[in-house]
A and B are shown apart, each in its own frame.
Chain A
Amino acid sequence: MGTGTRSRLHRLAAVFALALSLAACSSLAASTGTKEDQLTAVTHSQVQTARLAAEAGLEDPPAPAVTLTVVLDDARTELVGTQEDLAKLPGDHEDLAGLVEDAIALVDRTATAIEDGDRPALREALRQAEALATALEDRSEKL
């Protein structure tokens, strides 16, 4: 391969890398959204996790409580982190803060119901999870 060809190849590779980086950076906003969008999405994701855990707890025989409790502990940790991030965010986010609080309470109730093997409480948690997920989806659409 000649020096000229090699140098052209190097330039082509540099232009390709630059174009790719620019394309990636330009869609950063589309990819990640605002901080509030992200926190809403995290909350929604953890609510849906609680919903799936409740469904798995209602199986016959149910999924092991110990596994579902670990899953819900992780969800709770994420939600508490979201609550802290939201508190640091400038502006009024009372609406979202309330939903995050509801989500933490839901995760706690689901974990207790799973540990106790309380099927009616699990069915109620499942219903609440669906309602909360819908509320978060409505909020995301408004943002």
Chain B
Amino acid sequence: MKKYLALTLGVLTAIGGFVDIGDIVTNAEAGARFGLGLTWVVVLGVIGICAYAEMSGRIVAATGRPVYDVIRERLGPRAALFNLIASFIVTLLTLAAQIGGVAVAIQLASGIPHVVWVAPVAIGLWILMWRVKFEKIERILGLAGLTIAVFAVSIWWLDPDWSALSGQVMSITPPPGEPVPTYLYYAVTLFAAAMTPYEVFFFSSGGVEERWTVKQLGIQRANVLIGFPLGGLLSLGIAAAAAVAILPLGMEVETLGQVVLPIGLAFGLAGMIVVLFGFFTVMVGAAFETAMSCGYMLAQYFGWQWGKRKQPKRAARFHAVVAGSVLLAFLIVQTGVDPVMITEVSLIGSAVALPLTYLPVLIVANDRQYLGDHVNGRFGNAVGLVTLLVVLIAAVAAIPLMIATGMGA
């Protein structure tokens, strides 16, 4: 019974870890523009994040240490510094995007401009991190975040042309009239949203906080292999709702408000309440994960005491970095810059930084000195290498595509 409970809770955590403002925005934009024509990218991203999250979990279980700590030791401080700088900047921007997204979700429910909500959201987040236990935050927000399944349910109410939708799913080329670079730009951002670097840092550090051992490898693997694909399905639900309600009108999605319109059409008042609650919880969860990841990265690189379980006076620098990151993110959003714009910039940054995150994980997961008999098998390496190749292509293509398409215009 205890095992099943651990599995259920772990799956919820993985679902919550997958879906954030990046997934919401990119899936809605892609759905409104290409229908379900970029489903293959989400599938690729889910396979990639499953492979690397499983490796990260295995590293934690076998060594009892977080992935970043092992990477610094294995590759040396200089190589790990590149990883640190790139990942920290991207994660900080992602945190800003989540805080901005939460503020916009409250604006959509209250009508009061989002800039008014940014400070209360940042303070609330800090209190949540300070006062509530790690497991409780992850599980309650993970469970509440499932409400965004309302997008997938709405498709039946919107009465789509199922054969057209399935045709889009099977397609791997841009629809007629859509330029190839724009299609590829959205493919890169969708892939980056699925494989955002903080997911690996948070997942592995969370494993240390929850004291994983090799005895729990089975459950941890099941969490990854069930939770992330379910997260991917929830994201595809957003794309599908946009494909059904927005694509036929030739309308572009540029705001979170436009993303929720299909739910308003399908379920009116009740649907809007559910979807705004879902957005709120998903983005608060992601803001918690990104803020903690900022602390994890710096503390693990510099060898400071770290961990949410540790009292602030015992891990003062870790807690200061977490609070400082929330403050910096707050200042970014408080300038009034559009949270959707921050999301898009952070996703391009993520795409560029992806190889710096995932290559070291693959190297460490193959090192017998650290993992003993738990090193990657042939299948794990094959999936890891193919994903890494895609990651490299996405990293090289991200900035040229962003410039050439004017951010997917």
Q: Which residues of A contact B (CB under 8 A)?
A: 13, 16-17, 20-21, 23-25, 27-28, 30-32, 38, 41, 44-45, 48-49, 51-53, 55-56, 59-64, 66-71, 74, 78, 133, 137
A70 lies within 8 A of B111 (CB): yes
Beyond A20-B397, A70-B111, A74-B255, 13 extra complex contacts between A and B, CB < 8 Å = A13-B396, A21-B404, A31-B182, A32-B406, A52-B246, A59-B268, A60-B268, A63-B269, A64-B109, A64-B269, A66-B109, A70-B257, A137-B250
How many chain B residues have a CB neighbour from A under 8 Å? Answer: 43
A52 lies within 8 A of B261 (CB): yes
Q: At the interface, is chain B mostly helix, strand, loop or mixed?
A: helix
With a cutoff of 8 Å between Cβ atoms, the chain A residues found around residue B181 in the complex are 23-24, 27-28, 31
Within 8 A of A (CB), among B108-134: 108-111
- The verdict on A31 contacting B265 (CB below 8 Å), with A20-B397, A52-B251, A67-B272 known, is no
Decide yes or no whether B179 CB sits under 8 A from chain A: yes
Task: Please give the distance in Å from A68's CB to the nearest CB on chain B.
Answer: 7
Chain B residue at smallest Cβ distance from A72: B257
Decide yes or no whether B252 CB sits under 8 A from chain A: yes
Task: Please give the distance in Å from B268's CB to the nearest CB on chain A.
Answer: 4
With a cutoff of 8 Å between Cβ atoms, the chain B residues found around residue A30 in the complex are 179
The one of B111, B180, B264, B396 that contacts A27, using a Cβ cutoff of 8 Å:
B180
Q: Which residues of B contact A (CB under 8 A)?
A: 107-111, 179-182, 184, 245-246, 249-252, 254-255, 257-258, 260-265, 267-273, 276, 396-397, 400-401, 403-406, 409
A67 lies within 8 A of B109 (CB): yes
- CB-defined A-B contacts under 8 Å, sample of 6: A20-B401, A27-B181, A48-B249, A63-B268, A66-B110, A78-B254
With a cutoff of 8 Å between Cβ atoms, the chain B residues found around residue A21 in the complex are 400, 404
- The verdict on A51 contacting B405 (CB below 8 Å), with A20-B397, A67-B109, A70-B257 known, is no
With a cutoff of 8 Å between Cβ atoms, the chain A residues found around residue B261 in the complex are 49, 52-53, 56, 71
Residue in A16, A25, A30, A67 whose Cβ sees the most chain B Cβ within 10 Å: A67
With a cutoff of 8 Å between Cβ atoms, the chain A residues found around residue B404 in the complex are 21, 24-25, 27-28, 31
A24 lies within 8 A of B254 (CB): no
Q: At the interface, is chain A mostly helix, strand, loop or mixed?
A: helix
Chain A residue at smallest Cβ distance from B248: A48
A74 lies within 8 A of B257 (CB): yes
| Complex Cα spacing A31 to B174, Å | 12
| Complex Cα spacing A23 to B182, Å | 12
With a cutoff of 8 Å between Cβ atoms, the chain B residues found around residue A24 in the complex are 181, 184, 400-401, 403-405
| Complex Cα spacing A88 to B261, Å | 32
A71 lies within 8 A of B400 (CB): no
The one of B180, B264, B400 that contacts A56, using a Cβ cutoff of 8 Å:
B264
Chain A residue at smallest Cβ distance from B32: A45
Task: Please give the distance in Å from B316's CB to the nearest CB on chain A.
Answer: 41
The 7 nearest A-B residue pairs measured at CB:
A56-B264, A63-B264, A24-B404, A59-B268, A71-B257, A48-B251, A31-B179
With a cutoff of 8 Å between Cβ atoms, the chain B residues found around residue A41 in the complex are 252
Task: Please give the distance in Å from A18's CB to the nearest CB on chain B.
Answer: 9
Chain A residue at smallest Cβ distance from B266: A59
Chain B residue at smallest Cβ distance from A62: B268
Residue in B249, B252, B397 whose Cβ sees the most chain A Cβ within 10 Å: B249
A67 lies within 8 A of B268 (CB): no
The one of A16, A23, A68 that contacts B264, using a Cβ cutoff of 8 Å:
A68
With a cutoff of 8 Å between Cβ atoms, the chain A residues found around residue B258 in the complex are 49, 52, 71, 74
| Complex Cα spacing A14 to B109, Å | 49
| Complex Cα spacing A24 to B404, Å | 5
Task: Please give the distance in Å from B249's CB to the nearest CB on chain A.
Answer: 4
A45 lies within 8 A of B252 (CB): yes
With a cutoff of 8 Å between Cβ atoms, the chain B residues found around residue A74 in the complex are 254-255, 257-258
With a cutoff of 8 Å between Cβ atoms, the chain A residues found around residue B257 in the complex are 67, 70-71, 74
A61 lies within 8 A of B268 (CB): yes
The one of B111, B250, B267 that contacts A44, using a Cβ cutoff of 8 Å:
B250
Task: Please give the distance in Å from B20's CB to the nearest CB on chain A.
Answer: 21
| Complex Cα spacing A100 to B375, Å | 62
B409 lies within 8 A of A38 (CB): yes
B405 lies within 8 A of A31 (CB): yes
A67 lies within 8 A of B260 (CB): yes
With a cutoff of 8 Å between Cβ atoms, the chain B residues found around residue A55 in the complex are 265
With a cutoff of 8 Å between Cβ atoms, the chain A residues found around residue B267 in the complex are 59
| Complex Cα spacing A20 to B184, Å | 11
B405 lies within 8 A of A32 (CB): yes
